[in-house]
Amino acid sequence: MAATTPPLQSAGDNEPFRVDGALTISRAATTEREIQAAPDPLTIDLSGVERMDTVGAWLIYRTVRDRDARVVGATPQAQSLLDQVAEFDHPARVRPEERPGVVRLFSELGEWVSESGRTLVGLLGFFGGTLIGFGNLIRRPRRFRWNAVVQRFDVVGIRALGIIGLMSFLIGVVIGQQGAVQLAQFGAESFTINLIGRITVRELGPLMTAIMVAGRSGSAFAAQLGTMKITEEIDAMRTIGVSPVEALVIPRVIASVIMMPLLAFWAMLMSLLGGGIFVWLFLEIPPLTYIQRLQEVIPITDLWIGLIKAPVFGLIIALAGCFQGMLVEGNSEEVGLRTTTAVVQAIFLVIVLDAVFAVFFSSIGWK
Amino acid sequence: MTDDEIVIRIRGLSNRFGEQVVHEGLDLDVRRGEILGVVGGSGTGKSVMMRSVIGLQTPAEGEVEVLGENMVGRNEDEAKNIRRRWGILFQNGALFSTLTVAENIEVPIHEYFPFLSPSLVDEIASYKLAMGGLSPDAGPKFPSELSGGMVKRAGLARALALDPELLFLDEPTAGLDPIAAAAFDELILSLQQRLELTVFLITHDLDTLYAICDRVAVLADRKVIAVGTIPELLALDHPWIQEYFNGPRGRAAANSSEEPARV
């Protein structure tokens, strides 16, 4: 293609503006500025234009429309481009209309409140729907999907062993180390074992496991079901007569409810192991003594508390994940938002319930 | 014919996915200013061929030249200069779901010409929207709010954003009702004539072939077995071509194209 010379030459007051060379999108920014700087009345001479595209034509057309400029010297091709852009001149908004700041603040607050209320009611309704699904399955146990459940056991439980074990081990070490430093001030270092034993079995084992499972599996549930919702797989299931609750939700709920106590127990053991290794190396308490002391200081009710809480946490995580997944509508961004909400909701509810459990078990005398 | 008139030149193209051979020694030329229709049974690799041409699929062997530039093995920066000279409409529109329709059209403009004033870019998006045959109120809508036909038109408007010389369309009328499909055919034809586009069009739609294609390339047996106008293809004695154009649907499309223009 021919090299282009500078396209626009400024001329005297009533002399026409000459555009030379290319009148295209590549030079549109400069051309726009130069046309804006030119004084009225304006005549534009297009006889020197070698190449022109619709953006160039648009710039000229716009000047003619808004400033009553005159165009001379347009070739037939240029004229045809000008006619075309004129034909397509239908101004459109680019973004949806935005409301003013104060109104938006209140409307967003209102939307948030009503959305929260609807979510809570929706979650309860979803729980109810799941229970009905369970009821149907109990009446017709043949429809129970063993394969799906076993597969979820693997994904939710077995594959989480490594990361949950490592995390719990490190937590055990940290509790031992911090406890030893603080208790040393009272000369009560040997109570580090009480601290490690009770806090991991009663609280941190199930709680940290729940947070990890919410991050690992709750998010996966929401993302999977959300994607299936977008690709209409869930609608296809319904039309075939497969209930999505039976096929998708119940296996995940069962897997989480059964796997959570097992994982929590595993987490307790790994924390005790981590704490044990710490006290052995740094407080010189031999492992046998450590185990003996653990048996003395951990009441069996602590273990029950941990293992009773864990399946409830599992239920909440699975419900929140599946519920948010089923709420996905529209686009891929929604999947991400719903996944985030599922994890946040699950962890929040887990911690609230943990507090409720703490009060409850204390008041029935399991101290 | 001089070399300048050939905008896409494919020579000896081979594509494999593991054991499965999709193309083997495929040749094809697309001439400037024509609408070339590509047909072929499902699974004959029409989309894979298009992906090889536009650089989304690196072929196992062969050469692909687009607008005189070799496409195989180019790095991203070099390929960019060719990319702004073509527009692509994907089968399902492939609109960015978090942007409005008008913002979708602005994406290529912002990418290549970041110094344009925002108001000018918005105006460009508006007239491209109209070129794609959409009404102005579609501009601020999100892709999830559009019907199937509107998604295709929005995708076409985005493909036209940079005034391309070359337009790739992957099954543009698939999933549209016959009226919308006919309207889309007419839109493509009028844009092609006005903007002097070269169009590479993959389709299953026989009506589209008869209505707007200058030449048709037939993909079978891992290569292009024939290229020509529909009468030229009909004269060939290949079983797939005969069945394709002389099957019940092919005859119906042929008859309707011979009838006087619809009012």
Residues A30-62 as b or e (16 or more Cβ within 10 Å = b): ebbebbeebeeebbbbbeebbbbbbbbbbbbbb
On whether residue A115 sits in a domain, the answer given is: no
- B61-88 residue pLDDT tens: 888 888 888 887 777 777 777 888 889 9
On whether residue B197 sits in a domain, the answer given is: yes
Name the residue in chain B with its Cα closest to that of A82.
B194
On whether residue B143 sits in a domain, the answer given is: yes
User: Is A43 found in the same domain as A130?
Assistant: no
How long, in residues, is chain B? 263
Q: Is B88 on the interface with A (CB under 8 A)?
A: no
pLDDT > 90: what percent of chain B? 15
User: Do B117 and A32 lie within an 8 Å CB cutoff?
Assistant: yes
User: Is A235 found in the same domain as A163?
Assistant: yes
**Dist CA A31 CA A224 (whole Å):** 51
Least confident of A119-133, A157-171, A174-188, B65-79: B65-79
Minimal C-alpha gap between A23 and chain B (Å)? 13
Which of A28, A85, A94 faces B113 most closely, judged by CB atoms?
Answer: A28
Q: Are B99 and B91 in contact (CB under 8 A)?
A: no
Residue type at position A329 = E
Report the pLDDT value the prediction gives residue A12, as an integer from 0 to 100.
Answer: 46
Report the pLDDT value the prediction gives residue A11, as an integer from 0 to 100.
Answer: 44
User: Is A357 found in the same domain as A227?
Assistant: yes
* Segments forming the whole domain that contains residue A181: 126-363
Q: What is the mean pLDDT of chain A?
A: 89
Where would I find the H helices in chain B? 46-53, 76-83, 101-112, 118-131, 148-159, 178-195, 206-212, 230-234, 239-246, 248-258
Interface of A with B in 6-25 (CB under 8 A): 24-25
List CB contacts (< 8 A) between A54 and chain B. 127, 131, 163, 195
What tokens appear for B60 in the block? 């196992």
Domain boundary among A36, A67, A87: A87
Q: What CATH code is carried by the domain that includes residue A79? A: 3.30.750.24
| Residue A174: CA count within 13 A, CB half-sphere | 9
Residues A234-248 as b or e (16 or more Cβ within 10 Å = b): beebeeeeebbbbeb
Report the pLDDT value the prediction gives residue B155, as an integer from 0 to 100.
Answer: 92
**Dist CA A68 CA B160 (whole Å):** 29
On whether residue A308 sits in a domain, the answer given is: yes
Q: Which band of pLDDT confidence, cut at 50, 70 and 90, is reported for residue B4? A: low
User: Is A37 found in the same domain as A137?
Assistant: no
Residues B198-235 as b or e (16 or more Cβ within 10 Å = b): bbbbbbebbbbbbbbbebbbbbbebbbbbbeebeebee
Minimal C-alpha gap between B134 and chain A (Å)? 10
Q: Is B123 on the interface with A (CB under 8 A)?
A: yes
Is B106's pLDDT higher than 50?
A: yes
Q: Which band of pLDDT confidence, cut at 50, 70 and 90, is reported for residue A13? A: low
Q: Which residues pair with A36 in a beta bridge?
A: none
On whether residue B11 sits in a domain, the answer given is: no
Minimal C-alpha gap between A102 and chain B (Å)? 22
Minimal C-alpha gap between A108 and chain B (Å)? 19
Fill in the DSSP letter of residue B261: P
Which of B136, B162, B194 faces A92 most closely, judged by CB atoms?
Answer: B136
Chain B interface, best mutation among A32, A61, A93, by max B CB count within 10 A: A93
- B185-238 residue pLDDT tens: 988 898 888 888 899 999 888 888 888 899 999 988 888 888 999 888 888 888
A120: helix, coil or strand? Answer: helix
Which of B115, B136, B141 faces A91 most closely, judged by CB atoms?
Answer: B136
Report the pLDDT value the prediction gives residue B260, as an integer from 0 to 100.
Answer: 52
* Segments forming the whole domain that contains residue B236: 33-61+78-258
Interface of A with B in 32-51 (CB under 8 A): 32
Q: Which helix (H) or strand (E) holds A47?
A: strand A43-52
Chain A interface, best mutation among B117, B122, B163, B187, by max A CB count within 10 A: B163
Q: Is A178 on the interface with B (CB under 8 A)?
A: no
Q: Are strands A43-52 and A70-72 parallel, antiparallel or unpaired?
A: parallel
The phi-psi region of residue B133 (left if phi > 0; otherwise alpha if psi is between -120 and 50; otherwise beta) is left
Report the pLDDT value the prediction gives residue B262, as an integer from 0 to 100.
Answer: 46
Q: What CATH code is carried by the domain that includes residue B128? A: 3.40.50.300
User: Is A307 found in the same domain as A175?
Assistant: yes
List CB contacts (< 8 A) between B162 and chain A. 25
Minimal C-alpha gap between B158 and chain A (Å)? 13
Report the pLDDT value the prediction gives residue A268, as an integer from 0 to 100.
Answer: 95
Q: What share of chain B is helix, strand, coil (3-state, %, to 5)?
A: 45, 25, 35
**Dist CA B57 CA B53 (whole Å):** 8
pLDDT > 70: what percent of chain B? 96
Q: What is the mean pLDDT of chain B?
A: 86
List CB contacts (< 8 A) between B175 and chain A. none
Q: In what order do the strands lie in the sheet with B198-202?
A: B86-89, B166-170, B198-202, B35-40, B215-220, B223-228
Residue type at position A75 = T
B237 CB contacts (<8 Å, ≥6 apart)?
A: none
Minimal C-alpha gap between A2 and chain B (Å)? 15
Residue type at position A303 = L
DSSP string across A48-86: EEEEE-HHHHHHHHHHHHHH--EEES--HHHHHHHHHHH
Nearest partner of B26 among B16, B36, B37, B18, judged by Cα: B16
**Dist CA A219 CA A324 (whole Å):** 9
Q: Number of residue pairs across A and B with CB atoms under 8 Å?
A: 96
What tokens appear for B169 in the block? 């369309």
Q: Which helix (H) or strand (E) holds A210?
A: helix A205-213
**Is B40 or A13 the better-scoring residue by pLDDT?**
B40
List CB contacts (< 8 A) between A24 and chain B. 163
Handedness of CA B223, B227, B231, B237 (dihedral sign): negative
User: Is A168 found in the same domain as A78?
Assistant: no
Nearest partner of B219 among B11, B9, B38, judged by Cα: B38
User: Is A252 found in the same domain as A203?
Assistant: yes
pLDDT > 90: what percent of chain A? 55
On whether residue B27 sits in a domain, the answer given is: no
List CB contacts (< 8 A) between A91 and chain B. 123, 126, 136
User: Is A136 found in the same domain as A67?
Assistant: no
Domain boundary among A87, A111, A137: A87
Instruction: Specify the number of domains making up chain B.
Output: 1
| Cis upstream peptide for A41 (omega within 30°) | yes
On whether residue A149 sits in a domain, the answer given is: yes
Q: Are A10 and A17 in contact (CB under 8 A)?
A: yes
User: Do A91 and B123 lie within an 8 Å CB cutoff?
Assistant: yes
Which of B116, B124, B194 faces A29 most closely, judged by CB atoms?
Answer: B116
User: Do B127 and A88 lie within an 8 Å CB cutoff?
Assistant: yes
User: Do B144 and A54 lie within an 8 Å CB cutoff?
Assistant: no
On whether residue B97 sits in a domain, the answer given is: yes
**Dist CA A253 CA A157 (whole Å):** 12
A267: helix, coil or strand? Answer: helix
On whether residue A271 sits in a domain, the answer given is: yes
On whether residue B13 sits in a domain, the answer given is: no
Q: Which band of pLDDT confidence, cut at 50, 70 and 90, is reported for residue B91? A: confident
List CB contacts (< 8 A) between B129 and chain A. 90, 92
User: Is A156 found in the same domain as A72?
Assistant: no
A131 CB contacts (<8 Å, ≥6 apart)?
A: none
On whether residue B72 sits in a domain, the answer given is: no
User: Is A130 found in the same domain as A82?
Assistant: no
Instruction: Specify the number of domains making up chain A.
Output: 2
On whether residue A3 sits in a domain, the answer given is: no
Residues A161-180 as b or e (16 or more Cβ within 10 Å = b): eeebbebbbebbbebbbebb
Q: What is the ipTM of this complex?
A: 0.77
Minimal C-alpha gap between A90 and chain B (Å)? 6
Q: Are A323 and A245 in contact (CB under 8 A)?
A: no
Is A330's pLDDT higher than 80?
A: no
User: Do A90 and B129 lie within an 8 Å CB cutoff?
Assistant: yes
On whether residue B73 sits in a domain, the answer given is: no
Within 10 angstroms of residue B57's Cβ, the number of other Cβ atoms is 17
Q: Is A241 on the interface with B (CB under 8 A)?
A: no
Chain B interface, best mutation among A32, A51, A54, by max B CB count within 10 A: A54
User: Is A204 found in the same domain as A345?
Assistant: yes
On whether residue A92 sits in a domain, the answer given is: no
